[in-house]
Amino acid sequence: MAFRAVGILCFLALACASGQVPDTPSAPDESAVLGAVPVPPKVVPRVLDLATPENTKITVSLGRQRACLLVCGEVAIEAPVSSGQRRARTPAGNYEITEKATTHLSGQHGDFIDAKGRVVRNGVSTRTDPAPSGTAFRPVALQYYMKLNADGLALHAGRLPGYPASDVSVRLPADIAPLIYQRVKVGTPVVIEE
């Protein structure tokens, strides 16, 4: 991995020195993001200490796979995210939080289980995966859930593989999600941009 990073840096340095600037896509595809080294979350305590549900705003950059909690326009938290994958992209737009729950049972994602509670198929979507005969749906619990619309768009804690892997929603790091959740309210603006 270190050799790959050094190689990329050398290529960029040579390209810039020769006056040729490599093209940069407006929104990286999964393969480009997959090879990237994730930038860890950044918390600015002096700004975060000033946060109240009345003075906060959340921004999400789909291209950078980053989210920010802003306090009076200043960055209090910047963290990596995992947004919707190609088949279920996270829609850009202006939203506001319409519902909050520390634990929310998903109506769309979970496992199919048999009568004894054993998992028959895990990680399913009720939108795309038919239930095998004799099974029931067991929803996954989403932690620090902040709903943005009726179509399944929400912010919540989840797995961050380093590229867009969610099904519409925006996943936040497990240690950052509660920090954001505690400082927003129903009505807090959320801007999602390409």
User: First and final CA of the chain: distance in angstroms?
Assistant: 28
CA 57 to chain centre: 16
- Per residue in 114-162, pLDDT (tens digit) is 999 999 999 898 888 999 999 999 999 999 999 999 988 999 999 999 9
Q: 20-34, 66-80, 135-149, 177-191: lowest mean pLDDT where? A: 20-34
Going by C-alpha positions, the residue among 63, 45, 14 that lies closest to residue 163 is 63
Q: How confident is the model at residue 9 (pLDDT cuts 50, 70, 90)?
A: very low
- pLDDT at position 36, please? 53
Going by C-alpha positions, the residue among 172, 168, 103, 92 that lies closest to residue 139 is 103
Strand partners, 114: none
Longest dimension (CA), the chain: 66
Mean model confidence pLDDT for the chain: 85
- pLDDT at position 89, please? 92
pLDDT value at 184 more than 90? yes
3-state class of 105 per DSSP?
A: strand
Report the alpha-carbon distance of residue 56 to residue 71 in Å, rounded: 5
Q: What domains can you pick out in the chain, each with its CATH number?
A: 1-37 (no CATH), 39-193 (2.40.440.10)
3-state class of 83 per DSSP?
A: coil
Name residues whose C-beta falls within 8 Å of residue 72's C-beta, 6 or more positions apart in sequence.
50, 55
Report the alpha-carbon distance of residue 37 to residue 47 in Å, rounded: 26
Report the alpha-carbon distance of residue 194 to residue 63 in Å, rounded: 5
Question: For the chain, what's the residue count?
Answer: 194
pTM above 0.85, yes or no: no
Name the percent of the chain lying above pLDDT 90: 71
CA 63 to chain centre: 12
Report the alpha-carbon distance of residue 74 to residue 136 in Å, rounded: 46
- Per residue in 37-78, pLDDT (tens digit) is 568 999 999 999 999 999 999 999 999 999 999 999 999 999
Going by C-alpha positions, the residue among 3, 181, 159, 178 that lies closest to residue 81 is 159
pLDDT value at 194 more than 60? yes
Report the alpha-carbon distance of residue 104 to residue 93 in Å, rounded: 23
- pLDDT at position 34, please? 47
Q: What are phi and psi of 57, to 5 degrees?
A: -150, 145
